[in-house]
Structure 1
Amino acid sequence: MNTTNPSDWINVFLYGIYPYIALTVCVFGCWARFDLSQYTWKTGSSQMLQPKGMRMASNLFHVGILIILLGHFFGMFTPHAVYSVFITAPQKQVLAMAVGGIAGLICLVGLVMLIIRRFTDPRVSHTSSFGDKLLLLVLLAQLILGLCTIVVSTSHLDGVMMMNLASWAQNLAILRPVYAASLVEQVGLVYKLHMFLGTTLILLVPFTRLVHIISAPIWYLSRRYQVVRRKTAQA
């Protein structure tokens, strides 16, 4: 790395330092929000305003995004030596592209349905904040970028790019930011945009409804449901 080149320092900041800033803001921001404003720790669901199509859109989006997040987490942070006995790097890349592509399309359909509903339904749109609408558009951009990386990856199926990106995440985890940034210095723009926007979404968690992803799975498991019986006509 040429330390006199400004672009090298920009690369180090965006892909070596910025992830730590985003994670720090996320952790302390969530802590502060839960401690100071617990009643805002929610999704702000609009299903009661207009339930039509909400369940299908929400299910498609959440199923797709959960698969994508789990795939990214285990795919990026699992060392190559752990799975190399069972699957090669090229095979892992093809598997990741197939599963990620299917999950991404499912998520995309659900997200587009949610966006249309959020922007076009008068009641839902009126009760939605600017941040709610902007967040959906940012998620859409991130999802499209992710699907574009799959298309670009079809031109190199040797697994090298995938391993470099995984090494980037793993080196960040062991606090080697400069080396981590050097691993992605030469990757394509679509990958860099996807990584930058993904990091930015982590930073935005404490300030948006994304905060519910931290605790929603736990709360839903212990959620109390009320059984409501329909009133029958009196004879």
Structure 2
Amino acid sequence: MLRKFDNNRSLSDNIKLGALTAMSAGMVNVTSVIVFFAYTSNVTGHYAVLAEEISKGNWYQAGIVATWILLFFFGGFLANFIIINVNRINVYYAHALPLILEIMCLLVVGGYLQFYYLETLVETEILVGFMLLAMGIQNGLTASISNSTVKTTHLTGLTTDLGMLFSMFTQREFRQKKHLRDKAKIQVSIMVSYLLGGIAAGVVYLQISFQVFYIVCVFLFFIICYDYFQLRVSMRKSKDS
């Protein structure tokens, strides 16, 4: 899922990566809405809020929202920066390190919520920032290693693309094109996984509250471990042959 890059990736690689990371994004976003009444898996709405706050002259609120947008931006920047620089040393590490940073951000949020959170506005603003940074890292990672085929933290563009694809599939000539069918499979798997992740988070939150963030971290850690295991297996096969 992680160690392969761009054109070396298979449909299965992209579906597994997209499904698992989309599920984690759905869980993070729904939990954020429940706890903070704020969306953290994308910044589309934040741009609208930023424009509104600027028009009203609410400069403190505008500054906070602008900071959130910049943190999401920095997450994407950081993920791709790590990939293009560490890639020369080790492809697997280059793709695993951004996920480790995302896990650290989410552990900070989950741990703070569980042990220290007093529900103040400043605390909320900082924790939302951490979550946006984490989602920016995830989206930057999946987009970078899949050549923008997989984007898992927001569904606006994906839903539009699916609508266009399904309209194309009304014509037989387009239904016969494998790359279009593969694209549809990836996008449907991301959409379904995101929705399932959101539903699971809502249900689980009622049982274990803030500890739902630890479950998201387990999902992400599974991706790292799974790919490491696959790498070891492939190395062992290469030695035997």
TM-score, structure 1 normalization: 0.32
Counting helix residues as a fraction of each chain, which structure ranks higher? 2
Computing the radius of gyration from Cα coordinates, the structure with the larger value is: 1
TM-score, structure 2 normalization: 0.32
